[in-house]
Chains A and B, each alone.
Chain A
């Protein structure tokens, strides 16, 4: 490492590559933290974790017993034996709270602009917006079904919409400014288990449903503009331009009127190839289809392409907004190229994912590693080759969520055993102490000036 410092001084190594080298080195040495512990006050399985986006200082967790808690992960509340930092919760809101949730909390997110608000969604059909300082509910929204996932865009400057996916087929967007539902996105055939706002545009929402489809919505228009199909694939990163244009459909000029009433058989006009021009000619079939007219660029809601053979349980976009990772209940993790909408066919080695619950995936900042909760472990995969880099075993039961803090290179994972574990690069001072020189009771970060 000192050679790298020298190189940076001399100008041989760029400062940014020096920083990313240090970060990836630290991530590669992850293990169960030997200097930090989070004391979880929950009495139920931990369903959702999030580190705040502004300072990366507060961790928010939501559990199945209807409780949500906030921890300060930079400053410990007390030290055990002077060495291990214990982080207790700053406050807990649970069923005893006058306006608390009545059933399990499935999702918690911070308000992206600052930590003054946080939003919780629960199986009691409510989404509540809380004021962090007074721990009071500021606003709540009643959804038609159990809320699976909520999301707010971290790059939004013109709207503050909470996208909520529930057991109902429609995705609803709730507005904090007005307290009402502004949009209802229909198209999925079953509940929506995972949602993500795009990291490159504040208007684009990605949803994954229990019907196995992943849909892209531009909230300024009606309807979804892309559906990811697992059979459309590209080998690795984007192919050269000439090849890719031949795959895109040729939506011939149809008039832009609203779609007609529901009829049993329709022709999907979304993703056709040139070979199916003949399809339009031979439309006189026994079952009398009705032609659906679409806006150009919009995908038909009857396009049945699926991204997974089961429900889509988790979505995560990479930081640069170019790729999307999705996990399904068919125990597959897929990497999609967002712009071309193709499956990049990267195979993430044998994993078994829990099929019934929504998972929270995490990606490192430079999109090199993806952390996936696989049954009772968290596995780190290399994003492009699909090889297992590390397996983190520490939880006693199924792991539901994991959250990566890129600023301090730490991974937090929450599981059914009610614990939140911290995975970080080892602290060398404590590692030395444990080596057997025991009995030294000094606080790890106390100054040590010579006289």
Chain B
């Protein structure tokens, strides 16, 4: 908690209120014994999950970008290691996004399963048969394969623990949005979050808009307090989301001034 509050952006008050509500949610999802040892990364994750903006058009469960995590916890190596151990404990899952070279999204496992269920339901409305492949996927593949990608042989092997697997099953998974072919290698698939396409488009457009807004200013900087209140035109995600993301990835940096925090475009 201390590491976080030292990096607070003036959203400290809002965060404190939400933390009280949040702890309540956490108690229910993780069980009492796990509550006793919170790593800083986990607290940051839960905090940001609670602050995920509500998007009207798309039913989207909260996800957190890795760069946002880097901006809210001081020690990045510790963040990486905590993420690795949380991934192994199956508390959360990592996904590689296609919006940049090293973009990753972190989603809590329950949220991911809810998202998958929504996608499956949508597919169910269209055609009724052969939907057991999603059950196999959930039971065998998600439980055992914790990486961001999987290759074709392994996928078929794991799915066939359910029953005989055919090509059209894999096609169903791809059309539901759970898997995506890798461009460099036709045998490997990325795991993806279903129905995230429009949000990712909004993410990259929002990043560009925010960076160009700051670049157009005379000294390429702005105080955080008025900047936070601005609305982005091209992105359904709120300004706070984008600020955390860009600060964590190094495009923006914050400077402490007597009148508050200042956000500046970084030169290197």
Contacts and interface: CB of A to CB of B under 8 A. Distances in A.
A374 B268 contact: yes
Interface string B128-145: 000000000000000010
A309 interface: yes
Given A235-B85, A265-B152, 13 more contacts: A235-B84, A265-B187, A267-B153, A268-B153, A276-B157, A279-B157, A330-B102, A331-B101, A346-B77, A347-B76, A349-B250, A350-B250, A351-B250
Contacts of B80: 345-347
Given A345-B77, A346-B77, A386-B77, A286 B153 contact: no
Interface string A291-323: 000000000000010000110000000000000
B21 interface: no
A233 B148 CA distance: 14
Dominant SS among interface residues on chain A: loop
Nearest to B170: A286
Contacts of A332: 102
B188 interface: yes
Interface stretch (B22-30, B44-52, B159-167): B159-167
B250 A309 contact: no
Contacts of A375: 268
A32 B249 CA distance: 28
18 contacts: A235-B84, A265-B153, A265-B187, A268-B151, A268-B153, A276-B154, A276-B157, A285-B153, A289-B153, A304-B185, A304-B187, A310-B101, A332-B102, A347-B79, A351-B268, A352-B268, A375-B268, A386-B76
Interface string A89-109: 000000000000000000000
A196 to B, nearest CB: 23
Interface of A: 211, 231, 233, 235-236, 265, 267-268, 275-276, 278-279, 282, 285-287, 289, 304, 309-310, 329-332, 345-347, 349-352, 374-377, 385-386, 391
A345 B81 contact: yes
Nearest to B96: A309
B147 interface: yes
Contacts of B187: 265, 304
Assign chain B's interface to a size class.
20 to 34
B102 A236 contact: no
A350 B101 contact: no
B214 interface: no
Given A265-B153, A345-B84, A375-B268, A331 B102 contact: yes
A330 B96 CA distance: 13
Contacts of B152: 265, 287
Contacts of B161: 278
Contact of B268 (A304, A329, A377): A377
B262 interface: no
A259 to B, nearest CB: 17
Contacts of B211: none
Contact of B144 (A236, A275, A304, A351): A275
A345 B268 CA distance: 24
A349 B76 contact: yes
A376 B153 contact: no
Nearest to B165: A285
Interface of B: 70, 75-77, 79-81, 84-85, 96, 101-102, 144, 147-148, 151-154, 156-157, 160-161, 166-167, 184-185, 187-188, 248-250, 268
Contacts of A309: 96, 101-102
A346 to B, nearest CB: 5
A233 B84 contact: yes
A130 to B, nearest CB: 36
Contacts of B76: 347, 349, 386
Contacts of A351: 250, 268
Contacts of A287: 152
A350 B102 CA distance: 12
A97 B125 CA distance: 75
A349 B266 CA distance: 14
B65 to A, nearest CB: 14
A419 B151 CA distance: 47
A351 B84 CA distance: 22
A276 to B, nearest CB: 7
Given A235-B84, A275-B144, A345-B81, A285 B249 contact: no
Contacts of A347: 70, 76-77, 79-80
B250 A352 contact: yes
Contacts of B157: 276, 278-279, 282
Counting chain B CB atoms within 10 Å of each CB, which of A236, A278, A285, A289 scores highest?
A285
B95 to A, nearest CB: 13
Contacts of A265: 152-153, 187
A173 B136 CA distance: 49
Nearest to A348: B76
A267 B152 CA distance: 10
B154 A304 contact: no
Contacts of B166: 286
Shortest 6 CB-CB contacts between residues of A and residues of B: A350-B250, A347-B76, A330-B101, A345-B80, A279-B157, A330-B102
Contacts of A276: 154, 157
A235 B156 contact: no
A391 B267 CA distance: 13
Contacts of B268: 351-352, 374-377, 391
Given A345-B81, A352-B268, A304 B102 contact: no
A276 B21 CA distance: 43
